[in-house]
Structure formats: C-alpha cells, structure tokens
Structure 1
Amino acid sequence: MRITSVEVKRQLHQLKVPFRTALRTVTATEAVTVRLDTDEGIIGWGEAVPTLEITGESTDSIEWAIKAVLAPAIIGLDLLDYEQVFHRIHQVMVGNTSAKAAVDMACYDCLSQFAGLPLYRYLGGVRTQLETDYTVGIATLEEMAAQAAQLANREFRILKIKAGKGEINDDLTKIKAVHQAAGAGVLLRIDANQGWNVKEAIRAIHMLEDWGIPIEFVEQPVKAHDLEGLKAITDAVSTPIMADESLFSPQDALQLLKLRAVDLFNIKLMKSGGIRHALQIYELAASAGVECMVGSMIESRLSVTAAAHFAASKPGITRVDFDAPLMLSNDPTVGGICYEGRMIQLPTKPGLGAAHPRYIGVQVYAKGDGR
C-alpha cells in the first residue's frame, strides 16, 4: 500500500462566540486538511490547526512543512512498513508537531481501513463511547456563571474553567461563582494555562480545597519549562496536578515521570506530532501508573475524531476534553464522532470514519512527477 500523493487545503472554522484563555483569544481558526492517497485506492484524512502560543506553528508554516518536507519524505513508501514511515515523519524535521500530526492521522486512517477496523479497534479497542467536559472560557464573572448554569442545564457533568489571565483572587471568585451556578454534582477542572506562579498556585489550590469545591485537577498552573515548580505544587497540595504545555514528546514524559512532577498527563495530538508519539507517551505514563486525559486545540470534528479513536483505545486514558467541535459554527466534516450532549459515540466504519466533503486539494508532491 504505497503512498502516491499528498494534498492539502485550508479550511476556515468560525467559533460561535470568542474563546478566551490566559494565552489567547480565538474567534476563528484556519485548519489545514490533509488527504493522503495510496495505490490501493485507500484515502486517508488528517487535519492540523495553528496554535502559535503553544506549538509555535502558523497556518503558513503547517502548510509549508507538509508541502516542502513531510510529503516528499513519505511519497513512494509502503504504509504497511509503517515503522519506516513514522520514523521518517519524525526524523525529517524537528518541531512542527501539528503538521506531523495531520500526516500521521492520515497514515493511521489508511492503515486501519486496510485492516478493515475502526481506528480505535486497530489501536486496542477499549470503549465505543466517551464523556467530554465543556470549557468555560475567561470572561466576566456574570458571563462565566451564566454559561456554567446553561451547561449544567444541558446535563454537562464536568466543566473546565479557564483561569490565569489576571489577578488570582479574581480567578478564585470566578471559580466559586461557576461552582454555585452549576450546582451540586458538577465536577470542575481548572486550567490556568501557565498563568500562575508557584506560591500563588499553592495558596489558591489550598483555598479551593478548604472551601470544599469539587476540583478534579488543576492543569498547567505554571510555565511549561518550570518542572520544578510543577513538582513543588504537586507535593504541596492534595488536588491532582496535570501537565499540558509541559508535555509534547515522549522525552518530556520521561522527564516529568522521573521528577514525579505531576499526577496526570494531558496528551494532545497537535503537541505530540500525532498518534504515533501519543501512543509512546501513553505507554510511559501507564508503566508509571499515571492516568491520562486526551484533549485538543480549537479543532474540527475531523481531527478530534482521530484523537477520540486514540482516547477510546487505551484503559489508562480516563478523561477526555473534546468540546472544541461544539464551539464551532461551521464544521463540514462528514462522518466522524457523533455528539449526544456530553456523550461521544465513536464511528463504526473502518479507519477514522470521517472525511472532508468540500476538499478540492492541490497536489503538492506525487510519485513520478519528476522532482
């Protein structure tokens, strides 16, 4: 099953309302969709989104990386020799993890179609259904409380609250307001997106613990590079601490595990470079007894479907954060995961079970084109 061509197309996804975190405000995202063709007639799909503040990638850089480097590196390779293919993807250039993720997804789509299995079963097959949280972005206290009440009425049982943009006392006031608005029985996740320092994070988490607010975990309270700070917080509080921006690669996972810096991992395909390295991160975490969540950036249902297949395939992935497609006002994906409120159903077709219907790509590199 040799790769014969790789095509790319940009797709603009508008958000229903602006989404604010400690790092950025998003009103729309321009994704890069990948179509990978093989000589068996099997077509694979993938997608990458730019997140300059986290991965350092723009739409232009993602498109260039695929066109100029990744596609030429894998055209003509036999996907059934997938160790060689994935090695080439990750060795031909450093960084560019979102671009690599899009190509990686398309490869796994083809492989699982060839095997006649949905991707989650090809990867291990643990469950067919997932429960997502929904994120309350940074806004005024009144806006955040109103959104929390609305989401609770829609029967979302887990809310993720963004923090870290301003004064930490303001964060605490908003967290308390969200808790009161959502009501009993709604679990909260706090994501500071690197916005706190060590001392204020410890103080804030202790206050939340003393108030008895049900906090499942606090995600990335300090800067990504501050692993010692993460460890200091983890050692000082009872609430579990999760690594997100500190965790891109299997090497990052090893370092976090050696330091015992956090209790939980958040794996995202846009950070790991796709499913291949995400699997390696998961296995390292599982060997150390560290549970994982799988999340996403602001992505469409196409790439989130790939992440959902991965999340559904492993027993140690105990949480997911897949609300991004629900935030979009347009999503042309055909097939893929299906949302029923907070519950996500995995597709049963072989492969991803998702495709892009409006895809009119430009062939960027093909076998025998003279280059």
Structure 2
Amino acid sequence: MIIRELYVKQRHLPLRAPFKTALRTAVDIESLEVMIELENGLTGIGAAVPTWVITGDSSESIKAALLGPIRSAIIDEDITNFKKVLKKVQKCCIGNTSAKAAADIALHDLYARLLQLPLYALLGGKGTIETDMTVGVDDPDVMAANAEKSVKDGFKVLKIKVGNDPTLDIARIQAIRERIPATIKIRLDANQGWTPKEAVRLIREMENLELGIELVEQPVHARDLEGLKFVTDRVNTPIMADESLFSASDALMLVSGRYVDLLNIKLMKCGGIDEAIKLASIAEANGIACMIGSMMESSLSVAAAAHFAAGHPNIKFYDLDAPLWLVEEPEGMLYNGGNIQLVDVPGLGITREKEW
C-alpha cells in the first residue's frame, strides 16, 4: 500500500475562556492538520499546534516541514513497512517536532485504519482513561472558584497553574484547598516560573501546611537541570519534568541522573507516538512513572495522545483536558467529568475526508 500524497490545512479554534500560565495567555489556537493518502484512497489524519515558548515551532515552520522534507520522505513509501516510514519522518530534518508529530499521528491513524483496529488496540491497550482539569493562573479567589466548578463538573484531579507570581502561589493553593474536598488531588505546574531556591521554599511551605500536593511539574527553567535536581533532592513532593523533556536522550539523562521523580510526555515535544513510546519505555526501565500531557491542542492531536496513553503501561498520570477548553465539541473522545472513553472505531475515530 503505497503512500500517494500528503495534504495540509490550517484551522482556527477559539477557546471558551483565556488559558493562562506562567509562560503565556492564549485565547485561541491555530491547528495545522495533515492528511496522508494511500494509492487506494484510504487516509489518515494528524495535527500539530505552534507553541513558540515551548517547541519554538510556528504555523509557517510546521507547514513548511510537512510539505517539504516530511512529504518527500514518505511519498512512494509502503505503509506496511510502518516502522521504516516512521523513522524516515524523524530523520528527514532537524527539530520540527510538532510537524513530525502531526505526520506520525496521521501515519498511525492510517495504519490502524488499514488494519481495521482502534489505535489504542493496535498499541496494546483499552480505551478508557481519566484526565485532570487545569485551573489557569489568576487571583486566588478566581482560581478557587474555577477549581470548585471543576469539582462540581466531576473532576477528581486538578492541575493548578502557578509560577507567574511566587508571592501569590501559597495563597492560591490555600484558597483552592478551602473550597474543594480533601479527597480531590492537586497537582501544581509552575511552567518554569520559580528559581530553585524559591521552589524549595514554596514546596516545603506547602508540605508544612499539609496542602496535599500530589506532584509539582517543571518548577525551574527547562535547561537548569542542576536546579531541577536541587529541588528534587530537597523536597518530599515528587517533581516532574515537562519542558526539560523532548527527546529519548533527554529522558535517559533525566532518569539515569535522578534529576526528577516523574516525566511528562507530550507528542508535540517529542515528535509523535513512536517517539513517545521510547520515552515512556526508557522511564519504565528506570522505575520512573510518566504523565501524558498536551499543549492547548485540538481534539485530533489530543485523541492521539490518549490512544498512546491507553496503550502504554507506564503512563500513570493523564492531563488531556485541552478539548474541553475549545468552543467546538470534543471529537473521538467522550468526556464524562474526568473520564475519557475513546470511540471504538478504526484509527483515531475522527474523520475529515469530506472537509479536504
């Protein structure tokens, strides 16, 4: 089954409310969607989002990589030689992880459709997982109200954004804890917003206040690995790497050096599902559990992340609420509070053929 063509289009997706982190505030997203077509007309789809402050990829660079080196690498290749095709995507250019992720997702969708299997089944899993809900950075009272609403909506785990104003972060978590049941888990994501010493001081204070923090994600700058280890070694709360983790070599370094306790894998950072499997397996071999996360993305790429997570036994944490922030309804996934049920149809369960 020969790959005949690759197509790209851009979609504008407004958010229901501004999404605020220590790095940026988003009110909408641009999603680059790719469709790969076989000679018999069967297609697979994928998507990527530009996130300047994390991946460095723009809409223009994603489109150029897809229609340039990635297209050249896979056209006239046989999809049944699946692993070879995936490797060609990764080797055809340097960087461009978001574009590679879009192509990788489309190829996985296409191959699963060819075999008439849901992607999660092809990857060896079942189609049910549970996500957290993100509470964006804001004033303590606003964050507490948003957290309370999320709990009423059925979420049992909250991911709280902090880090843009360390002087407020303790007050934010205290305000949230006062408004939600003690059984609700809280995860913190500082998005590189603290210095190592600030992180240690703040996390220790939260521990002393018994605020019940399950984990803290990326407390310091992505490239400050010694600072990351400084924090990990001095607090009891598990520390997770996010922006510090892109590649398999990053994963190997982080886990072998015990820089962190946990890893957050995102398809846009690592280049797709095939690379994500490597990261999760490296961590598993070193006794380090992983989270599957996403940027602010469309249902298409988040569904791909969910299928990967459902299929890998070392994904223990799930942060896949992005489609719930969009004005458009989620596709390929049925959300019931924090529970996600993947649809039981071949591939990702999302069709786009009539839209191209």
TM-score, shorter chain, exceeding 0.5: yes
Q: CA deviation at 1:86?
A: 1.5
Aligned residues between the structures: 356
2:352 equivalent in structure 1: 356
Q: Does 1:307 align with 2:305?
A: yes
- Contact map agreement 1:98 1:271 (CA 8 A) in 2: yes
Q: CA deviation at 1:151?
A: 1.0
- Contact map agreement 1:132 1:323 (CA 8 A) in 2: yes
Q: For 1:157 and 1:169, how far apart are their aligned partners in 2?
A: 27
1:6 equivalent in structure 2: 6
Q: Does 1:131 align with 2:130?
A: yes
Percent identity of paired positions between Structure 1 and Structure 2:
47
Letter in 2 for 1:211: L
TM-score by length of 1: 0.94
Q: For 2:80 and 2:294, how far apart are their aligned partners in 1?
A: 28
Superposition map of 1:160-309 within 5 A: 160-166=159-165, 168-309=166-307
3-state DSSP of counterpart to 1:355: coil
2:35 equivalent in structure 1: 35
Q: CA deviation at 1:341?
A: 1.6
- Contact map agreement 1:4 1:76 (CA 8 A) in 2: yes
- Contact map agreement 1:130 1:344 (CA 8 A) in 2: yes
1:363 equivalent in structure 2: none
Q: CA deviation at 1:251?
A: 0.6
1:364 equivalent in structure 2: none
Letter in 1 for 2:204: H
Letter in 2 for 1:131: E
Deviations 1:230-254 (A, max 9, x none): 1111111110000000000001001
Superposition map of 1:323-338 within 5 A: 323-331=321-329, 335-338=331-334
Q: CA deviation at 1:169?
A: 2.5
Q: For 1:183 and 1:343, how far apart are their aligned partners in 2?
A: 19
Q: For 1:3 and 1:315, how far apart are their aligned partners in 2?
A: 31
- Contact map agreement 1:9 1:359 (CA 8 A) in 2: no
- Contact map agreement 2:3 2:37 (CA 8 A) in 1: yes
Q: CA deviation at 1:298?
A: 0.6
3-state DSSP of counterpart to 2:192: coil
Letter in 2 for 1:61: S
Moved over 4 A (4+): none
Q: Does 1:141 align with 2:137?
A: no
Listed as ranges, the gaps of 5+ residues in structure 1 are 361-371
Q: For 2:88 and 2:106, how far apart are their aligned partners in 1?
A: 15
Q: For 1:320 and 1:152, how far apart are their aligned partners in 2?
A: 16
Superposition map of 1:57-206 within 5 A: 57-125=57-125, 127-166=126-165, 168-206=166-204
Q: For 1:347 and 1:283, how far apart are their aligned partners in 2?
A: 26
Indicate how the Cα distance of structure 1 residues 215 and 357 shifts in structure 2: closer, same or farther if over 3 A, else same: farther
- Contact map agreement 1:11 1:32 (CA 8 A) in 2: yes
Q: For 1:180 and 1:59, how far apart are their aligned partners in 2?
A: 42
3-state DSSP of counterpart to 2:355: coil
Q: CA deviation at 1:132?
A: 0.7
TM-score by length of 2: 0.98
Q: CA deviation at 1:357?
A: 6.2
